[in-house]
Chains A and B, each alone.
Chain A
Amino acid sequence: MSALLEVNGVSVSFDGFKAINNLSFSIGEPEMRAVIGPNGAGKTTFMDIITGKTRPDEGEVLWGEENRSLLRMSEAQIAQAGVGRKFQRPTVFEDQSVRDNLMVALKKDRTPWAALTYRGSDADSARIEELATEIGLLDHLSTTAGILSHGQKQWLEIGMLLAQEPRLLLVDEPAAGMSTEEREHTTDILVNAAKTKAVVVVEHDMDFVRRLNCRVTVLHEGSVLAEGSLDHVMANQEVIDVYLGR
């Protein structure tokens, strides 16, 4: 299994504070990976670097079979290359219908001219319905996204990610604020996606991580502290110290 994404020796500091410190990480395709770590461990900054929002001071981020560097690409180019990102707070287009949200996300030519002349096809409608079924929003296609529940918004955002047909999904705290049944459904969606794609889930909730049943990377103070199965890392004395306090 060759690596889809490779992060090598990346560091970034904000006003002297080292948010990411010589961090290396790699993920194959398909693979599910959970990233855990205490607050301030650099989980969100890590995602910011991969998606082009933050430029690292040093290190390299390589992508795909040709090992293209993501560091010189804009956020939009990185997204087009196949990296999809879900934010911590659900961000969907609140005054647009679920259908429109998914339609905008569908993998298509992203230029203004293509958007102006876009005509929805039967295949696109079918794809939208398929996605809506997967995220459990088939009955809400015409609903304005703003009036969905918190959990439904999270699913819609995941659905928009899937509509992009990315090769790598970065998912930031997908289960935050969800009920138990909602969590289970979210797990199903992510596990299903990980059958064909690389999926990185950042999560605080250990029960949720356990249910994902995957390799875990523990971040602490901007670098990787431990990596392996959940039971393996939880048995690590350093990890216990970081989580339970010194």
Chain B
Amino acid sequence: MRAMKTVPYFLAVLFAVVLGVTILSQAYGTGGISVSFTKVLGMTLCLCLAALAMDLVWGYCGILSLGHFAFFGLGGYMVGMWLMTARTEAVVRANMANNVIPPTEAEISQGTALQIFSVVGAEDWPWMWAVSDSLFLSLLLVVLIPGLLALVFGWLAFRSRVTGVYLSILTQAMTLALSLYLFQNDTGLRGNNGLSGLQNIPGVSAGQSYLSIWFFWASALALALGYVGSAWVVSGKFGNVVRGIRDDEQRVRFLGYSVEGYKLFVFVLSAVICGIAGALFYPQAGIINPDEIAPIASIYLAVWVAIGGRGRLYGAVIGAALVSLLSTYFTGGRAPDVNLGIFTIQWIDWWPVLLGLGFVLITLFAPNGIAGLFDKLVRK
């Protein structure tokens, strides 16, 4: 029940943030927030959504997955293929329009492929781009591919009763393997170049000032829906069973519940949420490459949730928002260096130290994270 009670407060706060950003936006307001910062805020909301999924799988079901950024990245790649195809095709079409003989569709397709893949020394469409000309099918893949990977991986892992740290290591291996696979030039997703130019939305002539706020709204909507959906999932009997699995798997099993089925359900659901979050994130980031799904990214996701507070949906959101915004601040060159006379603290180098220190302090003094402290205040 507890999770459902937080929904109105969460939605109110989120709405206030959206309203504030819109009023300060360049497109519809005073222009107090730059386009690039609007994008940062929009991307932060996507990370919050991914953290929400992480909280479902770790905070509620007790599965410490350290590979959820793989699903996030896959979502980005799926939408990225459509974005790149559609935009490049428009450019190729425009270039060929001046030809004396009007180009055939096959020639345009060939030209588009050459444009996209020449960077990795190829000129044909790889098989995985088969549906990249269809927005609808690409959006379907955003949900299907991460879901399918989670289903296969989860089925194999849970069926063999792999739990605890062993499962965490397996998930790390999964995201590392996927990242290394994508790094290769001949796997069809442009190797280490990744997919770029994703900030341009084909068929939309509005400038980035408008696009940035639209994506911000879309991210906020996705986060709101994700929050309500997650709260619904964890507040009913399903939530009781899942938390039971986290605390005593054996007990749940001997009560007659198929623990593996429940774990798989939560794992796949959270992978799908991550995929959607990634699909909204990368058009704002503009570029995706295999480095995004390196093992460290998924570990950060777990750190956000731990700092924010496990097993509390708003905790995950607070943790992700706070830490990722601070990270942007400290590593973006905006934070002033601290001159100590003999030594100058440059935040780009020292931010990881600060984050690590924060993590240790939270673990020691606030095991339930920031949300846990918040709960104590409210209860008093």
Mark A83-104 against chain B: 1 for CB-CB distance below 8 A, else 0.
0110100011111100010011
Residues of A within 8 A of B259 (CB): 76
A79 contacts B238, CB within 8 Å?
Answer: no
Q: Does B262 contact A (CB under 8 A)?
A: yes
Q: Report the minimum CB–CB distance from B99 to chain A (whole Å).
A: 57
Q: Which of A105-113, A125-133, A180-188, A198-206 contacts B (4 or more CB under 8 A)?
A: A105-113
Residues of A within 8 A of B237 (CB): 103-104, 115-116, 118
B254 contacts A85, CB within 8 Å?
Answer: yes
Given A95-B247, A112-B262: A164 in contact with B240 (beta carbons within 8 A)? no
Q: Report the minimum CB–CB distance from B54 to chain A (whole Å).
A: 20
Q: Does A196 contact B (CB under 8 A)?
A: no
- Chain B, residue nearest A108 (CB): B237
Residue from the list B238, B240, B257 in contact with A93, Cβ < 8 A: B240
Q: Does B125 contact A (CB under 8 A)?
A: no
Residues of A within 8 A of B194 (CB): none
Residues of A within 8 A of B254 (CB): 51, 75, 79, 84-85
How distant is the Cα of A94 from the Cα of B248 in the complex, in angstroms? Answer: 9
How distant is the Cα of A104 from the Cα of B243 in the complex, in angstroms? Answer: 11
Residues of B within 8 A of A75 (CB): 253-254
- Chain B, residue nearest A100 (CB): B240
Q: Report the minimum CB–CB distance from A51 to chain B (whole Å).
A: 6
Residues of B within 8 A of A116 (CB): 233, 236-238
Residues of B within 8 A of A135 (CB): none
Q: Report the minimum CB–CB distance from B193 to chain A (whole Å).
A: 41
A96 contacts B240, CB within 8 Å?
Answer: yes
Mark B248-290 against chain A: 1 for CB-CB distance below 8 A, else 0.
1011011111110110010000000000000000000000000
Given A100-B240, A112-B261: A164 in contact with B256 (beta carbons within 8 A)? yes
A93 contacts B251, CB within 8 Å?
Answer: yes
- Chain A, residue nearest B311 (CB): A95
Considering the complex, which residues of chain B in the window 121-153 have a beta carbon less than 8 Å from any beta carbon of chain A?
A: none
Q: Does B120 contact A (CB under 8 A)?
A: no
Mostly, the B contact residues are helix
Interface residues on B, range: 20 to 34
A111 contacts B240, CB within 8 Å?
Answer: no
Q: Does B372 contact A (CB under 8 A)?
A: no
Q: Does B241 contact A (CB under 8 A)?
A: yes
Q: Does B197 contact A (CB under 8 A)?
A: no
How distant is the Cα of A74 from the Cα of B252 in the complex, in angstroms? Answer: 13
Q: Report the minimum CB–CB distance from A97 to chain B (whole Å).
A: 9
Interface residues on A, range: 20 to 34
Given A93-B248, A110-B257, A164-B256: A115 in contact with B238 (beta carbons within 8 A)? yes
Residues of B within 8 A of A104 (CB): 237, 240-241, 244, 255
Residues of A within 8 A of B236 (CB): 115-116, 118
Residues of B within 8 A of A103 (CB): 237, 240
Residues of B within 8 A of A45 (CB): none
A111 contacts B251, CB within 8 Å?
Answer: no
A111 contacts B261, CB within 8 Å?
Answer: yes
Mark A156-184 against chain B: 1 for CB-CB distance below 8 A, else 0.
00001000100000000000000000000
- Chain B, residue nearest A82 (CB): B256
Residue from the list A96, A112, A164 in contact with B255, Cβ < 8 A: A164
Given A94-B247, A104-B240, A112-B238: A79 in contact with B265 (beta carbons within 8 A)? no
- Chain B, residue nearest A157 (CB): B251
B257 contacts A76, CB within 8 Å?
Answer: yes
Residue from the list B238, B250, B256, B258 in contact with A91, Cβ < 8 A: B250
Residue from the list B238, B253, B257, B261 in contact with A118, Cβ < 8 A: B238
A76 contacts B241, CB within 8 Å?
Answer: no
How distant is the Cα of A77 from the Cα of B261 in the complex, in angstroms? Answer: 13
Q: Does A80 contact B (CB under 8 A)?
A: yes
Considering the complex, which residues of chain B in the window 309-333 have a beta carbon less than 8 Å from any beta carbon of chain A?
A: none
Considering the complex, which residues of chain A in the window 109-148 have a beta carbon less than 8 Å from any beta carbon of chain B?
A: 110-112, 115-116, 118
Q: Report the minimum CB–CB distance from A61 to chain B (whole Å).
A: 16
Residues of B within 8 A of A84 (CB): 254
Considering the complex, which residues of chain B in the window 192-244 have a beta carbon less than 8 Å from any beta carbon of chain A?
A: 233, 236-238, 240-241, 243-244
Q: Report the minimum CB–CB distance from A4 to chain B (whole Å).
A: 17
Q: A75-B253, A76-B253, A104-B237 are in contact. List 19 more A-B contacts (CB 8 A).
A: A77-B256, A79-B253, A79-B254, A79-B255, A93-B244, A93-B247, A93-B251, A103-B240, A104-B244, A104-B255, A105-B255, A112-B262, A112-B265, A115-B238, A115-B241, A115-B262, A116-B236, A116-B237, A164-B256
- In the complex, 15 of the A-B residue pairs with CB atoms within 8 angstroms, ordered by the A residue number, are A51-B254, A76-B253, A76-B257, A87-B250, A93-B240, A93-B243, A103-B237, A104-B255, A111-B258, A112-B261, A115-B236, A118-B237, A118-B238, A160-B255, A164-B255
- Which 7 A-B residue pairings sit nearest by Cβ, starting from the closest? A79-B256, A118-B237, A115-B238, A80-B256, A116-B238, A112-B265, A91-B251
